[in-house]
Structure 1
């Protein structure tokens, strides 16, 4: 993998603040940590190395101490760097607990467009995929590199993450990944949401003469416009496809766009088509955010693998945030095999009891043990996805046992809700909730709605 672009030094200062300065009404930050990493194209290179790839970073660096610090922060990356002609840019973010306080930029004035060296252009040869991380500091505008990138794009997938102050992608780029704000600046279009993203992606494909544009829309996903032709369709016609993002609880969004572009490039290098590659990039960005973002990326063991959707870690994050805000955590459980109106009403009533609803879902193995070898009708992955599609469900925890007791002990809900026509004290989970003072309640039961009856009706109609 080859990454081309502007490299910065990112500094994250984190601490606590419990008082104001006597000199002015500003918070005093007691620094706890001072973390440094290669930013910009350097961050993309770090991500790809963490994914296990051989990575070459093509960039420009100053001759100052901070440039040497960047090299030291990229021990597993082959760095091919020309002279930048400007000081190393440094971006320092100061955070208090989970809140951004200020960002301090040093040496971030726009530098002259650098000259590409022979070593820089030669480094593109033989790549499986190329990511251009344009941070508006001139590397992607260098004529020598642009010529080399245009030549490489004829045979190698190039993914271009653009910048409003940067250069236009070269013709033939496989996928360009602007976010909504960037797409708005690159076009004269108005509007919001999917309609705007659809029109902007199509216009930019034609303006830039690229194969595809994926306008990313944060936690909603991405809208992809790609060229058609070669399959019986009219050459030059465009295909539009929406790629939704999995539901995750996200924190600091820093680096999510870089993670998406890297994920798209990896998928293209493995031979997937554009739509599948963008879906892979969206999933990679969602997992990155769910795992804790850039902070987790540079933890000693890297970010924890977080399958999305329906992960215990995501459920625990939801529970933690609700509890931190003084809210009430509600849980319910069941097989939820073939969702029906009775399920929807019960889940909605359970959610109304508190500030989040976690569903404890019987795994496929657990359902078979309870219901027999012909069940479940839907796999647990499909059941998780359907549950998370409901607005009243905030997270799902899958368990293998006959009962959800061990799952409940992991996050200790304040309330266990169950639909039924029996007393709350008769529910088997009552003893478990009593261990930490939780409450068990029943919510309205709607007779005549059941998975068994629905399955029989479906079987009758073929």
Structure 2
């Protein structure tokens, strides 16, 4: 699990500093016709929908912009629409959302791209698309590029949202990416199609699993092979990062700085509709990067945001309030998830070590947690990046402390330890000593209180034998569970 850092919480609470993002791409109108089906038509064997309502929302690149607005950013949007009723409806929605749409041009030769979904009792029955996917005429493409270039000086991020509807040709992409690069602006791309070479020189791409498989020729069912080919593609196109969205498996970040992909696991949520989830992902990443967050932070943030919008029906946009609530829920889930069985903890320790992180192990009863415990754990964690606590079970505590202990049951003790920021993992052990646990986890650092000598520390010889380190951590004076119990019962 990824802990949500304070800097991420602060960015969301501060609405990402109201940074400005310039969104360029295929604008759409999403229309929903909803009602109920009660009979089959006598004219043909098809259901008859009794229309109950109609709703229109901005979709495609405009939905990316909606997500950014919802997160608190300032947005300018560029693209084309037709000189038709759908175009008027779409521009009215952009105006109502508070976007700068001066770079939205009218193409007299094509309809506004629209998707009409017929939905009965929450189930989509039919989708009707109106579109022209031909590339823009040369004069219109040039006018669009010039309109975008005029707005680059005010932007912190350029975002290209490609739905393969003709706006983002290879020439348009190359001109915009080069212009942004000359200004030092990050360029984020939600890609489409088989040929990703049009995005050469961009900062970050966000393909889904199927899109990356199509672009690389890799087998989408072989995740390791697919991500390996994604890294080859990233390097060949001169991209800094590729974030691959993996549905229920979360995301994978490829950045060249790490030998293995950084995996961001999904948080289990009830899924109603995945429409627009990719728009939310790239919008959240753009918001994070605009606010100065690092790629791993932004990927985790985007993962949480996507988990929110798939819980809505229809194309939906995230809001800063929803994202803050998701972060709060994630924090509680992260704490509970820190308590693991041995097999899961061993796999997690191996993953941390593979990512170059130094793992510290300590153990104890931690009955009636007090400031001495907390300070000790904080000091122990300073010797690495991750701290795993081996926690004696109730039976093990009784064997060590006597039949009156523990005062607090093992599950409660584990959960309270997991709530500490210094603790990354808790694993229970039932033996009188943690030696088997230490041998299984093979920590880089074994920590114990300074009231021990090194030759008294269980597992010291083993840890030093595989090249690890043993540290004796200073304790807070006059702080112990036994002393607290004695004060509670002064007469014994």
TM-score range, shorter chain: 0.5 to 0.7
Match of residue 404 from structure 2: none
Residue in structure 2 matching 1:57, options 36, 57, 77: 77
Which one of the candidate residues 121, 143, 158 is aligned to 1:97?
Answer: 121
CA distance in 1, matches of 2:266, 2:228: 20
**Residue 240 of structure 1: aligned partner:** 261
* Higher relative contact order (CA closer than 8 Å, sequence separation 6+): 2
Map residues 4-403 of structure 1 onto 2, 5 A cutoff: 4-75=24-95, 76-79=98-101, 80-84=103-107, 85-113=109-137, 114-117=140-143, 118-141=146-169, 143-144=171-172, 146-154=174-182, 155-164=184-193, 168-190=197-219, 192-228=221-257, 240-290=261-311, 292=312, 294=314, 297=317, 306-307=325-326, 310=329, 338=339
CA shift for structure 1 position 4: 0.7
- Change over 3 Å in CA distance of 1:167–1:148 after alignment to 2: same
- Distance in structure 1 (CA, Å) of the matches to 2:36 and 2:222: 37
Q: Do 1:194 and 1:223's aligned partners in 2 also have CA atoms closer than 8 Å?
A: no
- Comparing 41-50 with 301-310, greater Cα deviation is found at 301-310
TM-score (norm 1): 0.64
Deviations 1:294-334 (A, max 9, x none): 466499x99686415858xx9xxxxxxxxxxxxxxxxxxxx
For structure 1, the 5+ residue unaligned runs are 229-236, 315-334, 342-367, 379-448
Q: CA 1:304–1:112 in structure 2 vs 1: closer, same or farther (change >3 Å)?
A: closer
Whole-Å separation in 2 of the counterparts to 1:213 and 1:121: 25
Q: Distance in 2 between matches of 1:150 and 1:104?
A: 37
Please state how far the C-alpha of 1:112 moved relative to its aligned partner.
3.7
Q: How many angstroms apart in 2 are the aligned matches of 1:12 and 1:55?
A: 25
Tell which structure's C-alpha radius of gyration is larger: 2
Which TM-score applies when normalising by structure 2? 0.60
Q: CA RMSD in A?
A: 3.7
| Bigger helix share | 2
- Please state how far the C-alpha of 1:132 moved relative to its aligned partner: 0.8
Structure 2 unaligned spans of 5+: 1-20, 343-365, 378-408, 414-427, 435-447, 449-456, 459-471, 473-492
**CA distance in structure 2 between the aligned counterparts of 1:68 and 1:189, rounded to whole angstroms:** 42
**Count, aligned residues:** 337
CA distance in 1, matches of 2:225, 2:270: 26
In the TM superposition, residue 339 of structure 1 has moved relative to its aligned partner by 5.5
> How far off is 1:124 after superposition?
2.4
Question: Does the CA contact (< 8 Å) of 1:15 and 1:29 recur in 2?
Answer: yes
Assess, with a 3 A threshold, how the Cα gap between structure 1 residues 457 and 336 changes in structure 2: closer, same or farther. Answer: farther
Q: CA deviation at 1:93?
A: 1.0
Deviations along 1:118-155, one digit per CA (max 9) or x if unpaired, are 22322223311121110112222163553132221351
